[in-house]
Structure formats: C-alpha cells, structure tokens
Amino acid sequence: MVGSISIISIVKFGLVGACNTLLSLSIIFLSKAMGIGDVLANLTGYVFGLLLSFQLNKNWTFCFSKNRQAWLFIRFLAAFAVAWAVNAAVLRYLLTTVGLNSYLAQLGSMPVYTIVFYLLSALFVFRT
C-alpha cells in the first residue's frame, strides 16, 4: 500500500527511525557536549535526521515515485515541523515540569515525535 497505514510501512518506518534516531541522538549529544542548549541541540539533530529520513521513507518505506519530489519535500517539511513542535513542547515539559535530566528528557520526547511524524507521513505526505 502506498501512502497509507500498514503493518509493513510501520515496520519499515521503525527501521528508518532507528537509523534516524542514532544519527539524531549522536548530533544532539555532540551539540550538547559543545555547549549548545537543549532546544537548539534537539533541532540540529532532528534536521540532519530529517534529510536521511526523507530519502529512506520516500524510496523504501512508502515506495513513492520520484515525480513531484519538490512538493513532496514541502509536505515532508510541514509534517516534520508539526511533529518537531510537539516534540519540543514535550521536551520542555519534561525538563521544566517533570525535572528530568536533560539527556533523559531528550530520549523521552522522541517517541511522541515518532508517532506524530509516522501518522503525518502516512496520511498526509505520502498519501495516494
């Protein structure tokens, strides 16, 4: 199924997400080690992961054709912006209200991002 929710697309999205997460977390933690603040470090990691995620999800997870690539990337960026905004809100909540350690808060906000981004990708970005 192209552009819809299926078990196969969920598994593939999860595998892409694992690669994306390794890259994103590496960049986030490296940025933090360099003294960059939590939200900017988070955004930096997610932007690099976004580029990897777009290519892998477009070509493998959702098997989307190569035409309309510019429009597709704009929709992908919009979905990313929404998912990341939700992620950032959860991150700030975990840091300020819950009082989690910065690194644990980064890890804690990721599942929310993943769920929101998958749903937006399947139902909006790569829809048929």
pLDDT of residue 1: 45
Reported as a pLDDT band with limits 50, 70 and 90, residue 127 is confident
pLDDT digits (tens, 9 = 90+) for 11-44: 999 999 899 889 998 999 999 999 999 889 988 9
pTM of the model: 0.77
- What average pLDDT is seen over the chain? 89
Q: What angle do CA 74, 8, 82 make, to 5 degrees?
A: 30
pLDDT digits (tens, 9 = 90+) for 50-77: 899 998 988 888 887 666 677 888 999 9
More confident residue, 78 or 66: 78
* Residue 115 Cα distances to 22, 26, 31, 33, 64, angstroms: 17, 21, 25, 28, 20
pLDDT of residue 67: 62
